[in-house]
Chains A and B, each alone.
Chain A
């Protein structure tokens, strides 16, 4: 069976309260956060750190999100500065891509070592 798509008339969006929700799944936030974290130069590897019941690093509540990451960081590197850069970058990227505000980003540096890039 074939269905032809009728010419699309782009109707203007209805008023925001009539428009319907846009939801972003936890794993979407998790993936975006991991990609963003890996972009920080001193970060050598990123793993989402899920809770026991989910492998996803992100948790979305309304328009806010909480993210937990396990990273491995090069050494010697100032770990506080790396963490601050990580936090800023991940929060910016998640906000730009999803419109969600990351209120909390927990970082565990599970592995330290390896040369700086």
Chain B
């Protein structure tokens, strides 16, 4: 879970290049924000992922400056992604695709994928 981030300069993809008044802490947080966004975008691009979900109580989320990114929560221990899936193919395959799509961002951290809901045609 990422702590609420105070307003900081627009994050850039490379955390090291983000030199701003917020200092080292701000740099780190804006890096985390960028990371969460990247993870969300990559997860959404996977086949079988309809959208991201907040988990059962809306707890899977990252707080970014001025907004809330639902469905991704990454800290130094692990990465958590909650998705709403389609039934095009088995859910473990979708989860594994999400996992490999974000593997390089996650590094050593385990990536927990939670299939929070599915979309069934005709309902």
Assess A/B contact in the complex (Cβ within 8 A).
yes
Binding site for B on A (CB under 8 A): 1, 3-6, 8-14, 18-25, 27-28, 31-32, 35, 96-99
Are B79 and A20 neighbours in the complex by a CB distance under 8 Å? yes
| Partner among A13, A20, A31 whose Cβ is within 8 Å of the Cβ of B118 | A31
Cα of A72 to Cα of B100 in the assembled complex, Å: 43
| Partner among A1, A14, A25, A32 whose Cβ is within 8 Å of the Cβ of B114 | A25
A99 / chain B contacts, CB cutoff of 8 Å: 90-92
Cα of A12 to Cα of B106 in the assembled complex, Å: 12
**B44 smallest CB distance to A (angstroms):** 9
Apart from the given pairs A22-B91, A24-B91, A25-B116, 12 other A-B contacts in the complex at a CB distance below 8 Å:
A3-B38, A19-B111, A21-B112, A22-B92, A22-B112, A25-B114, A25-B115, A25-B117, A28-B115, A28-B116, A96-B90, A97-B87
Interface residues on B, range: 35 or more
Cα of A92 to Cα of B114 in the assembled complex, Å: 21
Q: Known contacts A11-B100, A23-B112, A25-B114; is A5 also within 8 Å of B87 by CB?
A: no
Cα of A12 to Cα of B99 in the assembled complex, Å: 10
B76 / chain A contacts, CB cutoff of 8 Å: none
| Partner among A8, A13, A97 whose Cβ is within 8 Å of the Cβ of B90 | A97
